[in-house]
Structure 1
Amino acid sequence: MTDTGIPPRLGSLTFHGPLSEARATRMVARVADASPATVLDIGCGWGELLLRVLEAVPGATGVGLDISAEDLARGRVLAEERGLAERVAFVEESALGTTRGPVDAILCLGSSQALCDPEQPHDPAAALRELRRLVRPGGRVVLGEGFWERTPTAGELAGMWPGAHTGDHLRLGALVDLAIETGFRPAWIETAGREEWEDFESGYRHDTEVWLAAHPGHPLAAETRDRVDRQRSSWLNGYRDILGMTYLTLIPVG
């Protein structure tokens, strides 16, 4: 951290989502039990879960796709540190219509929008069809997807992200039913708890809040303060306890 710039982005997060160490360990074990030889991580960020799967399955290879060069660079450093650089590629490209399948296992945590037409509203059915296309028979898909714990009110929607509306997400039952209709069986259904959400939301802003406290007069302080204040407000005054995150371990049928 220096006086000339803001701190590294998301440096306090292990995972880019509300995911605990204990839950991640169980998810990795379920994927590893299927002994995948090839793993694809869609919207991988820095690929923490991908790297853990590769550590759990000796000889497996992986590809992480993302459009954030900064996150991908962090992933490459982590791969080097863990001796996995020869077994994983972090690639800066869109996942829309990707030809990097079929593979034995897919991770898609909070990134299903990467599989959808960006000019259209987010379509979980389209994302699930793409995941089904990309996974081999007998493989595994771990899908992390937002859902409504309950239908939000108009006032609650107004406190969320710009343009938020009830069609942004499904209820959990409808989402699981959609996965089944698309050609999967839900081998495991779990949802993030409040502590996982609080760790993620606080960790998302932690480094920036520390920097702001130490640099109140910095030229970037006002802009940065406005941004993180809006982010925090959208959680506390908008989607807290309304937006959920489910982690579905899916097995393709047939």
Structure 2
Amino acid sequence: MEPEFVEFRDGEQLAAWQDFQLSGMPDMISLMNLCHAIFALVDGGILDNLRAGKKSPDEGLLDGTVEKIGAGLLDYLVLRGVLERRADGFALTRKGELLTGEVPLARLGVYLESYGPVMSRLRELLTGEAVYGEDVQRNGGPLGKHSATMFSAFHTPVLVEAMRGRGVRTMLDIGCGGGSLLVDACKRDPGLTGIGLDIDADAIAEAQRLAAREGVDDRLEFVVGDAFAPQDWPAVCGTADGLCIVSALHELFRDGEQAVVDMLDAYRKALPEQKILLVGEPEIKYVPRDNDDDFYLVHVLTDQGIPRQRGEWLEVFGKTELECRRVYSRPGAGPPVCFYDLAPR
């Protein structure tokens, strides 16, 4: 005898479920979990195994994972359209290929890996139970790595063209991190040499290794120093005829506009014969599809000066001993960055 099936329905319950669906929350939950799943696919080594031709657990697709959990992750990603089942195992769909491209993974890494430790404690930062810089820190290593990927794809060509247009032969990159910007620039312009300066000795060591791996270490030198203390820079920095600072100067706005003006004037004095001081700064357009709102939020939470629009930057430059000769931008790149070509008045 088959059991009786009873289905309960009432207007209040159906209205509550409809409101939940109309709220968009189901999609938000799915996207949140999908982000973590894609990050695990990469960080757990499964993506590398797929790209190495391993299509099934028998071929080593789940090597390095807890196989039961790995198998469940694969099934989930099939449901989400990232993977597909084939006769010989699993493969990335076209959607999966796009989601796991260099730039999408770098954008995901910025928010999930670099700022994840901050976002996970948003409530505590909001209530004052935690203070950024003391109890909470962004993850600087991944931030440098992922930012380098995006800059190489979108912005380094602009920087190289700006330097070339002013006849620069030796570029000083202050706050160079792991050196990827200088290395990429030197690979694109065989006549360019450079000096990288960063306060983090570990980052400088990584920059030296990167330059050696990429075969440009004969044209690059990396030194330890504080980007915001030009009076203490190593003497070699004074040999540069061009200077760039990218996505860092806006942080001084937390100390007020005058702090930015003073630092720009200090840079002018540090290299009096400089052909160009190129300031690269993000410009938030507040376009949700470009994650501008997310970019804004992480700056609020990490006690950074909020990135300014170009008109606001031009007002700041007008209070310095420098003149802005040109503004470079590149539409369709993320995050959007303006490069300001400055020179002594």
Q: Normalized against structure 1, the TM-score is what?
A: 0.59
Instruction: Kindly indicate whether the alpha-carbon contact (under 8 Å) linking 2:158 and 2:328 is maintained by their aligned counterparts in 1.
Output: no
Cα 1:16–1:124 shift into 2, 3 Å: farther
Matched, 1:143 2:279: yes
* Deviation, structure 1 residue 135: 4.1
Instruction: Kindly indicate whether the alpha-carbon contact (under 8 Å) linking 1:72 and 1:91 is maintained by their aligned counterparts in 2.
Output: yes
Alignment of 1:31-42 (within 5 A): 31-42=163-174
Matched, 1:184 2:320: no
Partner of 2:98: none
* Deviation, structure 1 residue 89: 1.6
Matched, 1:66 2:195: no
* Deviation, structure 1 residue 76: 1.1
Partner of 2:230: 97
Higher relative contact order (CA 8 A, sep 6+): 1
Matched, 1:252 2:336: no
Q: Secondary structure at the match of 2:245?
A: strand
Q: 1:35-85: per-residue Cα shift (whole Å, max 9, x none)? A: 323211100011222123333444543211112233222211221022221
Q: Secondary structure at the match of 1:196?
A: coil
Q: Which piece of structure 1 moves more, 121-130 or 84-93? A: 121-130
1:45 to 177, 197, 205: 177
Matched, 1:108 2:245: yes
Matched, 1:10 2:148: no
Letter in 2 for 1:105: G
Instruction: Kindly indicate whether the alpha-carbon contact (under 8 Å) linking 1:135 and 1:141 is maintained by their aligned counterparts in 2.
Output: no
Higher share in helix = 2
Instruction: Kindly indicate whether the alpha-carbon contact (under 8 Å) linking 2:310 and 2:338 is maintained by their aligned counterparts in 1.
Output: no
Cα 1:52–1:184 shift into 2, 3 Å: farther
Q: Which structure is larger by alpha-carbon Rg, 1 or 2?
A: 2
Instruction: Kindly indicate whether the alpha-carbon contact (under 8 Å) linking 1:180 and 1:186 is maintained by their aligned counterparts in 2.
Output: no
Partner of 2:262: 126
Partner of 1:80: 212
Q: Secondary structure at the match of 2:161?
A: helix
Cα 1:102–1:185 shift into 2, 3 Å: farther
Q: Secondary structure at the match of 1:85?
A: coil
Matched, 1:28 2:28: no
* Deviation, structure 1 residue 187: 1.4
Instruction: Kindly indicate whether the alpha-carbon contact (under 8 Å) linking 1:179 and 1:186 is maintained by their aligned counterparts in 2.
Output: no
Partner of 2:310: 172
* Deviation, structure 1 residue 252: 0.8
In 2, the alpha carbon distance for the partners of 1:159 and 1:46 equals 22
Instruction: Kindly indicate whether the alpha-carbon contact (under 8 Å) linking 2:171 and 2:241 is maintained by their aligned counterparts in 1.
Output: yes
In 1, the alpha carbon distance for the partners of 2:263 and 2:196 equals 17
Q: Normalized against structure 2, the TM-score is what?
A: 0.46
Instruction: Kindly indicate whether the alpha-carbon contact (under 8 Å) linking 2:284 and 2:308 is maintained by their aligned counterparts in 1.
Output: yes
Instruction: Kindly indicate whether the alpha-carbon contact (under 8 Å) linking 1:135 and 1:252 is maintained by their aligned counterparts in 2.
Output: no
Q: Secondary structure at the match of 1:19?
A: helix
In 1, the alpha carbon distance for the partners of 2:209 and 2:220 equals 11
* Deviation, structure 1 residue 16: 4.4
Partner of 1:161: 301
* Deviation, structure 1 residue 185: 2.2
Partner of 1:238: none
In 1, the alpha carbon distance for the partners of 2:150 and 2:166 equals 25
Partner of 2:32: none
In 1, the alpha carbon distance for the partners of 2:148 and 2:212 equals 20
Q: 1:8-39: per-residue Cα shift (whole Å, max 9, x none)? A: 94289353486361432132122123332321
Instruction: Kindly indicate whether the alpha-carbon contact (under 8 Å) linking 1:67 and 1:92 is maintained by their aligned counterparts in 2.
Output: yes
Cα 1:45–1:136 shift into 2, 3 Å: same
Q: Secondary structure at the match of 1:15?
A: helix
Instruction: Kindly indicate whether the alpha-carbon contact (under 8 Å) linking 1:185 and 1:253 is maintained by their aligned counterparts in 2.
Output: no
